[in-house]
Structure 1
Amino acid sequence: MNILITGVLGAALLVATITDLKSQKIHNWLTFPLMLTGLIAHTVHGGLDGLALSAGGFALGLGLMIVPFLMGMMGAGDVKLMAGIGAWLGVEATFTAFLFTCLAGGIYAIAVLLMNFAQFKAVMANLWGTFLRFLSTHKFDYSPVNTEQALPRLCYGVAIAVGTVGALILNFTQTGSVVVR
């Protein structure tokens, strides 16, 4: 089952990365089959326990990413991709993939901002001002960055791919399996 999971996720993450970089879109023709085949494969391989493992990972992947989506911070394709990954990995490995994705996304965002230093300075000044306002008023008052040009959009599918691969490697080195039951 490890080879199947690694192969399916590897192919899906490669396609998601390419399409996200090209068109800033992760297509439904990739994410919906990823979700469905994860649920089916685990059910066939592990019966109701496999279905529970897969459904739990699906729900966690969806749940963790829906809040940033509702706040307008990421696209629906990113949410569906993480839900599909969850359907293949189960709860524990999905949570690890999410944490690694957050780290990769943060590094990616800083790298993109550093490519335009003026925007980076504006973002850092805004964060510092927000922090100082919070210390003095004890209220969180976030004001958007005032820059002449819009902040760059991130292709978060790239961060999801890097985070998931990191989680697969970590889980495999620790347990000998990419899925933690």
Structure 2
Amino acid sequence: MARIPRRLARIWASISPPRRITLTMLAAYLLCGVQAARDLLHGALLPPPATLIGAVCVAAGAILAIPTAWRGMWMVEAPAAGLITVGLAVEAAEEILLAPNGHLPLYTLLVLVLMLTRIERIWGRDWEPGREPPATVDESEEAVRRAQEAERRAVEAAIVRGDAAWTAD
């Protein structure tokens, strides 16, 4: 079995779990950023205002979302994904309003729906104060509290029974 080079192993370890989902979102953000750059640089010297606004929002969101998704900083990734969604919504609205013969921008709408599901999945879950996932320290503190409570109840029961070892004499 081939051994993974140390550098690749370090890069793989730096990606926040679940890694497959993170890599999928990195690819989505990267493609959104490439599409935004293409919209900004393609064609006319100055794109139409709606295209410009949409592409700038998507590009800025992608620039913010890629490193934050990689490191698992959802408190920044969610607003960045929201910025991408705003940009996609502006571009989709422009395509719908300016499209001939009722053409619908299905691919843009599909990406928009996928971004909305990502935002719904990560928005305000684990990073809100008081809603963090239990850490090892929190679990240890809770175990110590339970042990102290059990010890206190055992001492009280021994005192009630009149056990000589627990009297204050």
Please, what TM-score do these two structures have when normalized by structure 2?
0.29
Please, what TM-score do these two structures have when normalized by structure 1?
0.28
Higher relative contact order (CA 8 A, sep 6+): 1
